[in-house]
Amino acid sequence: MVDRRTLLASLAASAAAGGCGRKSAPSVASAPGKERFSWKMVTTWPPNFPGLGTGASTLARYLEQASGGRLRVQIYAAGELIPAFEVFDAVSSGAAELGHSGAYYWRGKSEAVQFFSTVPFGLNTHEMNAWLYYGGGLELWREVYAPFNLIPFPAGNTGVQMGGWFNRQINGMDDLRGLKMRMQGIGGEVLRLAGGTPVSLPGSELFTALQTGSIDATEWVGPYNDLAFGLHQAARYYYYPGWHEPGPTMECMVNAQAYGRLPQDLKAAVRVACQAANLDMTAEFNARNATALEQIRADDSIEIRAFPADVLAGLRVLTVEVIESLTARDPTAARVWSSYRQFLSQARAWQRISEQALLSTSIL
Ligand code: CA
């Protein structure tokens, strides 16, 4: 009871300061569970960008619906309130209560964060969800984000991505030498070890960078998202698989104080809405990637190619080197990797005799 009174008093103070809600303090106190919140969500995505931007919109809608309209969310796409790569700082400082992004963009804050988005040749979408929800991954993620005043939730996953768009063929590891390619996170460091130059660019800049030749290649997501940016009009070769992003988790980060001010039922609404958004994004990408792939296959100006087996083998070796080096210099990353690695080895044995075995056959 005392805790509830303290919470309500803090809510009232916050409302009086203009921090939230239309309800006055007395009605909050006399009608618990009716307090209203207006939150800002900043994202790394262009406005309503298919899949990722709409994933953020879906999450905002779920939050409003699950809260019966008591938690309203105003979305700001990349560049509308802050630039794409300032989401982490904006939510950390409380300038926005929510952020929708990908953890690998924040490796400058902590090397450990990258494991919560994706690791080259690592966990796929099924396995990421299994690790995060049932394998201790989410607890570790919360621990890593806590010093930054942030509470993370998985809130989307694109599924395995494509290897990217190239204007030259990749027939051996030598072809990666000197390649200037947009690639994030650990995958980018692997490219660097292979002799390439990884470049970090927000999605909205990829088409121009590729078309003008300021980069030689780019990865983005997969057929559905890549067509939306017109990347097929700026490069000839579309490579698979996306070795660098086998199942990247997108995140919803919540400012810890803002979350703390929510009553229990709205905290639950945040948790459940994020989990629903996580499922929804994977389903949408799987459905729309298949349709977009048909469109790409019908276009003679595009050649869909597999990375040669020896290139994938070479990249795997370099991935291990990159991870060993980053875990050697960062004890938190080492602890997260230890959990991730143990989970991957168990989970992959199961995937091989379940999903993988089944996917090699079909009734069609
Ligand atoms: Ca990507």
- Taken in order of first residue, the domains within the chain and their CATH numbers are 4-159+247-287 (3.40.190.170)
- Kindly tell me if the per-residue pLDDT of 12 is higher than 60: no
Look at residues 282, 25, 325 and name the one whose alpha carbon lies nearest to residue 129.
282
Q: Cα(219) to centroid of ligand 1, in Å?
A: 6
Q: What is the mean pLDDT of residues 284-289?
A: 96
- Kindly tell me if the per-residue pLDDT of 228 is higher than 50: yes
Measure the CA–CA gap between 290 and 223, rounded to whole angstroms: 8
**Higher-scoring residue by pLDDT: 28, 77:** 77
Can you state the angle between helices 309-329 and 185-193, rounded to 10 degrees?
110
Q: Cα(125) to centroid of ligand 1, in Å?
A: 14
Asked if 97 and 255 count as a contact pair (C-beta separation under 8 A), the reply is: yes
β-pairing verdict for 237-240 and 197-199:
unpaired
Look at residues 229, 282, 258 and name the one whose alpha carbon lies nearest to residue 45.
229
Q: What is the mean pLDDT of residues 241-270?
A: 98
- Kindly tell me if the per-residue pLDDT of 33 is higher than 80: no
Q: Cα(342) to centroid of ligand 1, in Å?
A: 25
Measure the CA–CA gap between 189 and 169, rounded to whole angstroms: 21
Which residues make Cβ contacts (< 8 Å) with residue 327, sequence separation at least 6? 333, 334, 337
Q: Cα(346) to centroid of ligand 1, in Å?
A: 26
Query: Which pLDDT does position 34 carry in this prediction?
Result: 84
- Kindly tell me if the per-residue pLDDT of 16 is higher than 50: no
pLDDT per residue as tens digits for the range 49-72: 888 999 999 999 999 999 999 999
Mean pLDDT across the chain, nearest whole number? 92
Query: Which pLDDT does position 290 carry in this prediction?
Result: 97
Q: What is the mean pLDDT of residues 304-313?
A: 98
- Tally Cβ neighbours within 10 Å of residue 197: 14
Q: Cα(203) to centroid of ligand 1, in Å?
A: 9
pLDDT per residue as tens digits for the range 143-183: 999 999 999 999 999 999 999 999 999 999 999 999 999 99
- State the pTM of this model: 0.88
Largest CA distance in the chain: 71
Residue 339 Cα distances to 75, 136, 142, 150, angstroms: 34, 8, 14, 21
Q: Cα(102) to centroid of ligand 1, in Å?
A: 10
Residue 321 tokens read as 């080197």
Asked if 236 and 303 count as a contact pair (C-beta separation under 8 A), the reply is: yes
Q: Cα(200) to centroid of ligand 1, in Å?
A: 11
Measure the CA–CA gap between 256 and 270, rounded to whole angstroms: 13
- Kindly tell me if the per-residue pLDDT of 132 is higher than 70: yes
Q: Cα(256) to centroid of ligand 1, in Å?
A: 28
pLDDT per residue as tens digits for the range 75-96: 999 999 999 999 999 999 999 9
Q: Cα(197) to centroid of ligand 1, in Å?
A: 16
Q: What is the mean pLDDT of residues 238-263?
A: 98
Q: Cα(208) to centroid of ligand 1, in Å?
A: 17
